[in-house]
Amino acid sequence: MTGGLLNVLKPPGMTSHDVVSFIRKTYGMKRVGHGGTLDPGAAGVLPVALGQATRLIEYITAADKSYRVELTFGYETDTGDDTGKVIHTADYDMPAPEQLQDVLQSFTGINRQIPPMHSAIKVNGKKLYELARIGISIDRPAREIEISRITLLKVFPTGILFDVTCSKGTYIRSLCRDLGTKLGCPAVMSFLVRTRVGKFLLSDALTVEELALKPELLLADPFLCLPKVSLSHDKAQAFTYGKSIFCEELCETLYGVYDEQKSFLGIGKKSACASVLIPVKVLSCQGKTLL
């Protein structure tokens, strides 16, 4: 096996790096990477690429993501979730459902968000959480994010449960903090499940236990995050040699490219003239697919 993709259900208590280490040992492969870090206490979808498929990670991490979130009012921590040190508490009156709906909806669209200190963002070669662990806090520039949908699911005496769909780079812990600020009471993220990364769905994800028993369970369709284009034998061979291909009715910017046998060949992009497919990442050579 030279490569493939896995839709892993990361359990709470396991870091994303732990999952990668587990996959390396299970599959006997060194070249393994994941498509978007999940907090150690969070669970949910973690796409993992093996071998040649690691060249596709940038397209997986760029996809939008969906989460189910529990927010708890009344206190704030240094990490933004319920695993951190409590730095502020306050009494509060539970906002009315109508107010909660209005505030949640106010975060839809393009926003600017300050990443938490306890994050893996690097500043001058140091990860922010490494600085936070030794008591150093630095100013972080706000970053542009987009939240396309927020849905209030349930109101508890101590907090709320909601779903959110957002762009790459959105920190749900920071969103919970900002929601609390806007409602006038401290808040933390007390539970998080990632339900989707692009077209990788929670309902299709495999536990580490399932993968340990049946490591052959790679995705039948190796690339789910882009629209597909299928090429004839001659065009597929030309694509694998890096040649641009004439294709009618190209509407999207990027495509997952397949041959007539539905073997994945790589990534192509639409040219300016809209009828030519240009190879971007080719994962096949001389008709031999690498996935």
Give me the active site residues, please.
39
Residue type, 130: E
Region for 80 from its dihedrals, namely left if φ exceeds 0, alpha if ψ lies in -120 to 50, beta otherwise: left
Beta-carbon contacts of residue 276 (< 8 Å; ≥ 6 apart): 244, 245, 246, 247, 250, 270
